[in-house]
Amino acid sequence: MRFKKTVAIIAISAAPLAYGQDDKNWEGEAELGVLMTSGNTDETNVNGRLGLVHEGIDWRNIAEFSSNYSESENEDTGEDQTTAEKYKAALETNYKFDESQYWFLRGTYEKDRFSGYDFESTATTGYGNRVWQRGERSFLDLSAGVGYRYNKLVVVNSDGDDAENEAIARLAAQFNYALSENALFHQKLSTEIGLDENNVISQSETAIKANIMGNLSMKAAYRVKHVSDAPAGTASTDTETSLSLLYGF
C-alpha cells in the first residue's frame, strides 16, 4: 500500500514536466526527494516540485507546483498512517518597466490536510524591484503589494463562519547568492498581513543547491510557515526539512 501511494505522489509531482519540455520558451527545474526507512521506524516521505520561468522582453511569467506526503507506522496498531499531505500552486506574471522594476500579479492555492484549512488562496498585485544584482545568479528582489485572502476552514470557527476572507498586504524578498560556479544559496521570505482580522501568515525557505553533473543538482532546504491566528487545534508554526535531487531544463 505504501509503495502504491509513493508512486502516485511521484507521478503527480512529475506530470507537468512534459509541458515544460515541449514549450522551448520555458525554462525550469523538476525536484524530487524520496526517503524511506524500515526497521525500528517505518516511514516514507516524498516531496516534489516543478518550477517554470518564461523570460520575455517586457514580461516574466513564473509558475511553481509542489507537493509533500509522508506516512509512518502507528506504534499501537502497526498500520500505516498519513502524517503530512500538502499540495501548493503559485502563478505570477511580471510586467517589466525596466531592467530592475516591475509590476506583479500573483495567485496562490494551497491544500494542507493537517493545517485546519480545507484550502488557502490569495490574489495579490503590487510593485517589485531588483535592488541588487551581480552576474546572472546573484540578486536581491524586494516587492510589496495588496490583495485578498480566502481560506476555507475545515471546522466552523467560534463566530459561526466557515471561511476567513479579508484584504491583505504582502511583503516579500528573494535573495540568491552564487557561492561558487557549482553552488547557490537561496533565501525566500514573505509575509501576508490581514487588514481586517489581523491574521499574519509568514513563510521562509532557506536552501543550498549544488551541481552534481550536467543538469542534475542536489538541494537541501529548510522551510517555515507561521500563522499568527491558526485554526483551533492546529500549531501556529510548521517546519519542513528536505533533501532532494533537481533536474534543470
Q: How confident is the model at residue 232 (pLDDT cuts 50, 70, 90)?
A: confident
User: 180 pairs with which residues across the strands?
Assistant: none
Can you say whether the dihedral through the CA atoms of 85, 239, 116, 110 is positive or negative?
Answer: negative
Interval 188-221: pLDDT, tens: 999 999 998 889 999 999 999 999 999 999 999 9
- For residue 231, the 8-state DSSP code is P
pLDDT of residue 26: 82
14 pLDDT higher than 60: no
Which pLDDT score is estimated for 19? 40
Q: Say whether pLDDT at 5 is over 90.
A: no
Bridge partners, residue 224, by sequence: 204, 239
Full set of structural domains in the chain with CATH: 47-65+88-248 (2.40.160.40)
Average pLDDT, the chain: 87
CA 88 to chain CA centroid, nearest Å: 6
Gap between the Cα atoms of 87 and 73, Å rounded: 22
Q: What is the pLDDT of residue 80?
A: 78
Cβ neighbours, 10 Å, residue 79: 9
Rounded Cα gap, residues 67 and 242, in angstroms? 12
Of 19-28, 66-75, 94-103, 177-186, which range is least confident? 19-28
At residue 8, does pLDDT exceed 70?
A: no
What is the tens place of the pLDDT at every residue in 114-154? Answer: 899 999 999 999 999 999 999 989 999 999 999 999 999 98
* Positive/negative CA dihedral, 235, 63, 57, 177: positive
What's the pLDDT score for residue 69? Answer: 92
- Dihedral (CA of 136, 140, 144, 150) sign: positive
Half-sphere exposure of 40 (CA within 13 A, CB side): 0
Give SS3 for 160.
coil
**Distance from C-alpha of 226 to C-alpha of 200, rounded to nearest angstrom:** 8
Q: How many CA atoms lie within 13 A of 160 on its CB side?
A: 0
The verdict on pTM exceeding 0.75 is yes
pLDDT reading at 1 higher than 60: no
pLDDT digits (tens, 9 = 90+) for 235-244: 999 998 899 9
144-166 average pLDDT score: 86
